[in-house]
C-alpha cells in the first residue's frame, strides 16, 4: 500500500513537471508571465506556510519581507549592476537576517500578539519604503524600474519563457529544500512547538531557537519570492507592498491548505488567477471574494484545497472495489 502510494505520487509529480515544462510553449506570453508570477507567489506561500501553518506563528506582515526581497533585487540590479540571478541569494540572506531579528522579540509574543505586531509591520511597510532618507536607494514614491533579462547561451526562448523556466528551477529547488526541512526532525519539532510548546520543550526542543530561526527561514523564502516577483514585473514601488499584499499571502495559504507543501502551489494559482477573473465584475470584487473565501474556508474546509484533495484521494483509494 505504502509502495503504491509512493509510486503514484512520483508519477503525479513527473506528470506535473512535464506539464510545467510544456505550458509556456502552449499559452500566450502574457499567460506565461502570469504563470511565472504564480510560481514566485508559490515560493512566498511556502515560506509563510512554514511559519504559520507548520510552526503556528501567525504572520499578517509577510508582505514586508516580500517587499524587502523585491527591493534588494531591484537596488542591486539598478544601482550596482548585479546580474539578476545573483540578487536572489542576496535577497534571501538579507531577509533571513531581518526575519531572524524580527523573530527574536516575536518569541515573547504569542498567537494574537504576534499577529498584532506583524499587522503593524504590514501597515508601516509602504511608509518606510517612501521615507526620504532612503530615497537615494529606494527611489521614493517613484520606485525603481528594472530590465527584463535575456535568455543566456542563445537559447531559443523569448524573455518571458526564459524567466518562466528560471523561476521554475528556483521554485523546484526551494520546494525540494522545504520538503526535506519539513519531513525530518526539524519539521516534527516545528509541529510539536505549534501543537504543544511546553511538551516540545520537555522533549528537548530548543523552542526559542527554533521559533526565531523559523521566522528567518520563512522570511528567506518570501524574500527570494519577492526578488523573483520584482524581476518578473520589472518594477518595484512602495504602494505594491501594502497590508493587502500580506493579506493576499494569507489568503493563499488558507485556500491552498495550512501546513501543506502542495497547498502553496494551489494557493498561488488561486491568488494569481482568481482576482483576474473577478476584476471584470468590479475593482472591489477580488477583495470581496478573498474575504468570503477566507471565512468560508475556515468554516467548511480548514485544510484548504490540498487537504480536500488528500481526503478525496484517500477515499478513492480506500474503497476501489465498491466503486
CA distance 41 to 35: 10
Residues 124-183 that bind other proteins (CB under 8 A): 124, 127-128, 130-132
Supply the minimum distance, in Å, between the C-beta of residue 254 and other proteins. Answer: 6
Complex with other proteins: residue 37 or 52, whichever CB lies closer: 52
Q: Are 215 and 106 in contact (CB under 8 A)?
A: yes
Residue 182's nearest CA partner among 16, 277, 47 is: 47
258 binds other proteins (CB under 8 A): yes
Binder of other proteins out of 6, 10, 15, 113 (CB under 8 A)? 113
Q: Please, what is the Cα angle at 57 between 69 and 37, to 5 degrees?
A: 35
280 binds other proteins (CB under 8 A): no
Supply the minimum distance, in Å, between the C-beta of residue 106 and other proteins. Answer: 9
Residue 266's nearest CA partner among 237, 303, 319, 218 is: 303
Supply the minimum distance, in Å, between the C-beta of residue 176 and other proteins. Answer: 27
CA distance 121 to 208: 21
Burial, 94: exposed, middle or buried (Cβ in 10 Å; 0-12, 13-18, 19+)?
buried
Complex with other proteins: residue 111 or 152, whichever CB lies closer: 111
Q: Which of helix, strand or coil describes residue 113?
A: helix
283 binds other proteins (CB under 8 A): yes
190 binds other proteins (CB under 8 A): no
Complex with other proteins: residue 26 or 112, whichever CB lies closer: 112
Residue 64's nearest CA partner among 123, 141, 122 is: 122
Complex with other proteins: residue 149 or 197, whichever CB lies closer: 197
CB atoms within 10 A of CB 206: 13
254 binds other proteins (CB under 8 A): yes
Q: Are 102 and 121 in contact (CB under 8 A)?
A: yes
Residues that bind other proteins (CB under 8 A): 52, 56, 58, 60, 105, 108-109, 111-113, 115-117, 119-121, 123-124, 127-128, 130-132, 198, 243, 247, 250, 254, 258, 282-288, 290-295, 298-299, 302
Amino acid at each position: 500500500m505504502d509502495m503504491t502510494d509512493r509510486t503514484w505520487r512520483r508519477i503525479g509529480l513527473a506528470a506535473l513537471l512535464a506539464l510545467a515544462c510544456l505550458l509556456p510553449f502552449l499559452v500566450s506570453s502574457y499567460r506565461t508571465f502570469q504563470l511565472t508570477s504564480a510560481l514566485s507567489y508559490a515560493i512566498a506561500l511556502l515560506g509563510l506556510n512554514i511559519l504559520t501553518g507548520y510552526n503556528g506563528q501567525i504572520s499578517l506582515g509577510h508582505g514586508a519581507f516580500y517587499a524587502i526581497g523585491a527591493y534588494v533585487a531591484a537596488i542591486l540590479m539598478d544601482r550596482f549592476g548585479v546580474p539578476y540571478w545573483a540578487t536572489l541569494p542576496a535577497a534571501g540572506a538579507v531577509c533571513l537576517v531581518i526575519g531572524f531579528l524580527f523573530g527574536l522579540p516575536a518569541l515573547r509574543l504569542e498567537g494574537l500578539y504576534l499577529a498584532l505586531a506583524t499587522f503593524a509591520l504590514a501597515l508601516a511597510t509602504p511608509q518606510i519604503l517612501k521615507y526620504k532618507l532612503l530615497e537615494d536607494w529606494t527611489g521614493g514614491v517613484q520606485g525603481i524600474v528594472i530590465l527584463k533579462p535575456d535568455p543566456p547561451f542563445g537559447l531559443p526562448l523569448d524573455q518571458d519563457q526564459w524567466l518562466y523556466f528560471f523561476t521554475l528551477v528556483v521554485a523546484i529547488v526551494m520546494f525540494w529544500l522545504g520538503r526535506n526541512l519539513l519531513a525530518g526532525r526539524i519539521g516534527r519539532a516545528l509541529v510539536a512547538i505549534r501543537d504543544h510548546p511546553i511538551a516540545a520543550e520537555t522533549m528537548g526542543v530548543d523552542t526559542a531557537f527554533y521559533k526565531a530561526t523559523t521566522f528567518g527561514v520563512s522570511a528567506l523564502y518570501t524574500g527570494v519570492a519577492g526578488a523573483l516577483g520584482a524581476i518578473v514585473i520589472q518594477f518595484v514601488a512602495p504602494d505594491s507592498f501594502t497590508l493587502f499584499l500580506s493579506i493576499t499571502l494569507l489568503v493563499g495559504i488558507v485556500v491552498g491548505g495550512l501546513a501543506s507543501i502542495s497547498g502553496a502551489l494551489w494557493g498561488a494559482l488561486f491568488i494569481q488567477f482568481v482576482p483576474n477573473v473577478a476584476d471584470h465584475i468590479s475593482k472591489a470584487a477580488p477583495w470581496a471574494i478573498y474575504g468570503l473565501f477566507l471565512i468560508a474556508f475556515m468554516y467548511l474546509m480548514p485544510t484548504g484545497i490540498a487537504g480536500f484533495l488528500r481526503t478525496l484521494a484517500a477515499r478513492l483509494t480506500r474503497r476501489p472495489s465498491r466503486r
